[in-house]
Structure 1
Amino acid sequence: MRAEGVRMKVADIERELDHARNQGPVRDIAIPPCPELLVALRKEVDKADPDPSEIARIASSDVAMAASLLRTVNSPLYARARAADTVAQAVSMLGVGPTVGILTSFLTRNAIRSNSPLLEHFWETSTRRALAMGFIARQLYGVDADVAHTCGLFCHVGIPIMMQGVKGYAGTLAEALARQDRSFTETENAAHKTDHAVVGAIVAKTWCLPPIIVAAVRLHHDFTALTDTRFPEEARTLVAMGLVAESLVARHEGVEVQREWEQHGDACLAHIRVSAGEVDAWVDALHPVFESVAVA
């Protein structure tokens, strides 16, 4: 009975997103199609035994993407004893999961542009959030690090899409970043009757990402979900991890303590059974990882 309830709750999210896309306020927002190379990557990754040589072939089919993969694998982030000279070597060194994460990041940021000065460092922050979520997943039991990484990358993709497609959103974004009396999504909904969590989840769904990522992106500002057992435990864990990752990135970037962290940080830490002291240690562990991020 409980499993049926979980399925229904996820199905409710799917129906909400379909309604928003087809009849609601999101219907006029242009959602970029999933890049063809990402479709090919997802098709290979979804196989029972993904072929590293096929991943390498896909990565090599775009010169800029191949260069980005080699630059990343040879960066201080991975601290390899020897450099990778070819894409095939990079895939062999990293493994399929981390390689797909890097390629997904490249393809996503090239498909979704963020040209506003307000979003100058958007992809650097998104990449750090994704890396932080992958790191946190590896510290926990039973959490897929590749799923967590992708979730972290997609949490805020709705923001540049709304910037491009919603009149007046630049002003809303500036207001949402400044206000302390209500949440980011409350400010968005007050102005536009939708928010970046909905839009980002629609992107994830349109791009055929796993349903658990779609659900987590939709819920990543809804912390009532932490105690709602109708949602899958994995989605609720991703929501909790997301706020912890957001806090880690903010601390690195020198951003002041966020309202959501003050209100819900303890609940998120409790949900993933992590102490504040452990998070302090993660700040130090992630410093070189965050410093290595440079999005071209």
Structure 2
Amino acid sequence: MQIATIQQEIQTARDKGPLREIKIPPCPELLTRLRAAMATAQPDLTEIQAIASADVAMSATLIRVANSPVHMGDGTPCVSVGQALTRLGLDATAELMTGFLIRNAIPVKSPHLQRFWERSAKRATAMRLLAAQIPGLDADLAGIFGLFCHVGMPVLLQAVRGYGATLVEAAARIDRPYVQTEDANHRTNHAVVGALVARAWNLPQPLMAAVRLHHDFTVLNDTELEPGVATLVAAGLLAEQLMRRSESLKPDADWAAHGAQALEWLQVGDAEMDEWADQLLELTDPL
């Protein structure tokens, strides 16, 4: 499978299939500006600060995080966006802003998706942690993938009647994968819808493809697919397992079936997993 094939699949589903009636939330203008600013070789810090200051709630979020114990230590409290940016660093600031903007563009107000964005932020942290260790895993794509890979769920919850019940059923069933229950009930699933949102928001094509395929581990044997996409998918599965270990949860069905294959693709061993799980716990414990 190639990215162009995935693009065509998404287009067909949008034009003639079950996605015709699904309303895709528009990409926030500030997110478009932020991604453009971060895409340059030397990001314009003045522009990024201006973007952060354009939304009072986003500014407050950055200052609050910068003043949290994990970042402030014994330092002087930050009182401005510029001070928060300096303390957090450019990449961490951009990731926090991205998460804030996506979260507000696609709100989740349902008991079926409790802690959805909190867990998405934790997954993004895990993916960035892995990107610092795994060759070929792009840090920017990794962080956004962590935030975005399950974004189809809240979109479906808002747009499709009965999807809340499907979430409960899919989580409870052990006889088939999560997305198969979604497909059986609605003729689509959160991976397809998430890829549609990524495409509509003009996010990078490898990211769109990885969101579409993040439950399809046959990609690890697909010689036609761009290696970076398969690496994102494998790292996403590993990030999920690291999260579960940090929360003292049992491995999920995807990890039980495909974890060994993902580790082989990423060339990661048990000792590294143990170390990264501990690091993730240290990074996300305040969450």
Report the TM range for the smaller structure's normalisation. over 0.9
Q: What residue is the counterpart of 1:3 in the other structure?
A: none
Shift of 1:141: 2.1
Q: What residue is the counterpart of 1:43 in the other structure?
A: 36
- Unmatched 5+ residue regions in structure 1? 1-7
In structure 1, distance between residues paired with 2:34 and 2:115: 26
**Residue from 182, 203, 208 that aligns with 1:209:** 203
In structure 2, distance between residues paired with 1:230 and 1:78: 43
Letter matched to residue 18 of structure 2: P
In structure 1, distance between residues paired with 2:15 and 2:66: 41
**Residue from 85, 90, 98 that aligns with 1:96:** 90
Q: What residue is the counterpart of 1:4 in the other structure?
A: none
Q: What residue is the counterpart of 2:165 in the other structure?
A: 171
Asked if structure 2 preserves the Cα contact closer than 8 Å seen for 1:55 and 1:91, the reply is no
Letter matched to residue 229 of structure 2: A
Q: What residue is the counterpart of 2:176 in the other structure?
A: 182
Q: What residue is the counterpart of 1:248 in the other structure?
A: 242
In structure 2, distance between residues paired with 1:228 and 1:186: 21
Deviations 1:6-45 (A, max 9, x none): xx81111111111222221111111100011111112222
In structure 2, distance between residues paired with 1:248 and 1:286: 7
**Residue from 46, 57, 66 that aligns with 1:53:** 46
In structure 1, distance between residues paired with 2:131 and 2:41: 22
Name which of structure 1's ranges 56-65 and 85-94 shifts more when overlaid on structure 2: 85-94
In structure 1, distance between residues paired with 2:18 and 2:281: 40
In structure 1, distance between residues paired with 2:21 and 2:279: 43
Shift of 1:80: 5.4
Shift of 1:108: 0.7
Shift of 1:249: 1.3
Q: What residue is the counterpart of 1:10 in the other structure?
A: 3
> Which structure 2 residues correspond to residues 30-179 of structure 1 after superposition, within 5 A?
30-78=23-71, 82=75, 83-179=77-173
CA distance 1:145–1:9, change in 2 (3 Å):
same
3-state DSSP of counterpart to 2:22? coil
Letter matched to residue 43 of structure 2: P
Asked whether 1:286 is paired with 2:280, we answer yes
Name which of structure 1's ranges 33-42 and 89-98 shifts more when overlaid on structure 2: 89-98
Asked if structure 2 preserves the Cα contact closer than 8 Å seen for 1:35 and 1:107, the reply is yes
Asked if structure 2 preserves the Cα contact closer than 8 Å seen for 1:69 and 1:90, the reply is yes
Name which of structure 1's ranges 89-98 and 224-233 shifts more when overlaid on structure 2: 89-98
Asked if structure 1 preserves the Cα contact closer than 8 Å seen for 2:243 and 2:280, the reply is no
Name which of structure 1's ranges 39-48 and 61-70 shifts more when overlaid on structure 2: 39-48
Deviations 1:228-271 (A, max 9, x none): 12111111101000001111112223433211100000011111
Q: What residue is the counterpart of 2:220 in the other structure?
A: 226
In structure 1, distance between residues paired with 2:73 and 2:221: 42
Q: What residue is the counterpart of 2:16 in the other structure?
A: 23
Identity rate of aligned residues, in percent?
A: 49
Letter matched to residue 132 of structure 1: A
Deviations 1:116-173 (A, max 9, x none): 1121111111111111011011111242222101111000000111111111111111
Asked if structure 2 preserves the Cα contact closer than 8 Å seen for 1:156 and 1:197, the reply is yes
CA distance 1:282–1:76, change in 2 (3 Å):
farther
In structure 2, distance between residues paired with 1:116 and 1:77: 30
Letter matched to residue 97 of structure 2: L
TM-score (norm. length: structure 1): 0.92
In structure 2, distance between residues paired with 1:19 and 1:107: 29
Shift of 1:79: 5.3
In structure 1, distance between residues paired with 2:118 and 2:40: 30
In structure 2, distance between residues paired with 1:19 and 1:96: 39
Letter matched to residue 94 of structure 2: V
- The RMSD of aligned alpha carbons is 1.6
Q: What residue is the counterpart of 2:229 in the other structure?
A: 235
CA distance 1:248–1:121, change in 2 (3 Å):
same
In structure 1, distance between residues paired with 2:281 and 2:9: 38
